[in-house]
Amino acid sequence: MTAADRPAPPDVVTFGETMAALRAQGALRLGGSLGLSVAGAESNVAIGLARLGHRVRWAGRVGADELGALVLRTLRAEGVDTGHAVTDDSGRPTGLLLTEPRLGTLTRVSYYRAGSAGSAVSPADVLPALAAGTRILHLTGITPALGPSAAEAVLAAATTAREAGITVCLDVNHRSRLWSADRARTVLIPMLAHVDLLIASEDELPLVQERPDADEPDAVAGLLAAGVGEVVVKRGARGATSHTADGANDRAARQVDAVDLVGAGDAFVGRLSIRTPRRRGRPRPVCTVPSPPRPSPSPPGATGRAFRHGTNSACSTSPTARPSAEPGDRT
């Protein structure tokens, strides 16, 4: 095989747990039909970027079951590379997520993922996915919350990517039903030495601070001083602020009609152009996601305003929109 015959490396690599998703049209206790699709923060971002024309690779573990087959088929159908995904043959199942509408635009989300295949992802599963020439590694704070091997995989991938000159993006994406704030802080803070772009909502900033009571200016200054190249603070309907060593840049949220708040933050992250400045005196690659070809028209029934098709997606560009009923989650 000549160099010209080799496939181009991915623009973005990401990994985490993707689950089967059952979506109710009304209260679950009242019965009725459920729609079956897939859900996962990292795969939402992967699908969104693939739809924008980028080369994206997803790694992770699924169960040796029909739901695992659904996850892989859906990702492949969206143009996401799943060549490094692992099918777990140890008896661990693919995780499951249930959603049901509540009042207004609120959605209650329940997770059934304890002991799942995705929670057993390991460094050996994900490190081979980081091919030479990869530009961005996208991580979330959900994956290290799944268990010890998953936490090891995230830290190993961030370390390896950083050493290889790959831009590392971390979306804090806290899930209080997976771990406590103290536990999240213990795991996430050591990762910051390898992070170029940190994305957090206003209430998530304390999770990456030694002093959780620090105000936002001090928190951001500490992160930049620690070597994080850019800190993006999401403010919901008020937009977002990007902080770098050159100063702050505020952006208002685009107002659209919300279809589903679950996954809105993933849509925001998937659309975010990633630029990293110099860090600790070393030149870092400027990693702006390039403008892709104009996407093809959305299929019939699609809103055209979000990363739809079987994923946790939302057409709202309000960057911190999250399911407000998270205390009902089950892990």
Annotation says 203 is catalytic: no
Give the Cβ contact number of residue 288 at 10 Å. Answer: 12
CA distances from 272 to 2, 164, 232, 275, 289 (A): 34, 22, 10, 9, 8
Alpha-carbon gap, residue 144 to 157, rounded angstroms: 12
Question: Catalytic one among 11, 81, 88, 266?
Answer: 266
Q: What would the two tokens of residue 100 be?
A: 């049901």
DSSP calls for 10-34 = PSEEEE---EEEEEESS-GGG---E
Q: Which of 232, 194, 186, 229 is nearest to 210 (CA)?
A: 186
Alpha-carbon gap, residue 128 to 160, rounded angstroms: 10
Q: Where are the alpha helices (DSSP H) in the chain?
A: 41-51, 66-77, 123-126, 148-163, 181-191, 216-225, 264-271
How many H-runs (helices) and E-runs (strands) does the chain carry? 7, 14
Residue with tokens 């304890």, as numbered in its chain? 114
Alpha-carbon gap, residue 331 to 327, rounded angstroms: 11
DSSP helix/strand/coil, 39: strand
Residue with tokens 């919300």, as numbered in its chain? 258
Catalytic residue ranges: 266
